[in-house]
Amino acid sequence: MNNLLILKSRIGIFRKVDDSVGEVTFSGTHDATVEEIKEFTLGMNEIMNHQPYYVINLLSTNLGSFSPEIWHYVGADKEANAYIEGSVVVTKSLGYKLQITIFFKKYKPVYPRTIVETKEEAYTWINKLKSFISE
């Protein structure tokens, strides 16, 4: 699986952009289970060769329903997020911005994170974070 650049599941699609950045496009077609999220996360880590990386989360459809266990796993579980150096959510939806802001406050992700409205802003934020970390 290390040679794959794309991971597809009911949750969405993960695409390796380069050695340090991956993009997730959520399908939003169902309510995810913790097992599906864990499998998806493990697949992301494998595609990124178990090396540190940044995630761009593209939210343009209904996210579906995430349980508190899923929110904890994707944000605060140190083992699940061992390779994530930072995460940026891309959305123009005020509803998603509020939902994600509450998530950030409640589950306190173990990595830097932000919300922006465009992919260009996402890459700008990641490049600034990379520069800061390398200093």
Domain containing residue 125: 6-134
- Backbone φ and ψ of 15, nearest 5°: -125, 125
Looking at the structure of the chain, the number of domains it has is 1
Residue 1 lies in a domain: no
**Residue 114 in domain:** yes
Q: What's the pLDDT tens digit per position in 21-35?
A: 999 998 765 677 888
CA distance 104 to 109: 6
CATH number (domain holding residue 81): 3.30.750.24
**pLDDT-derived band at 106, boundaries 50, 70, 90:** confident
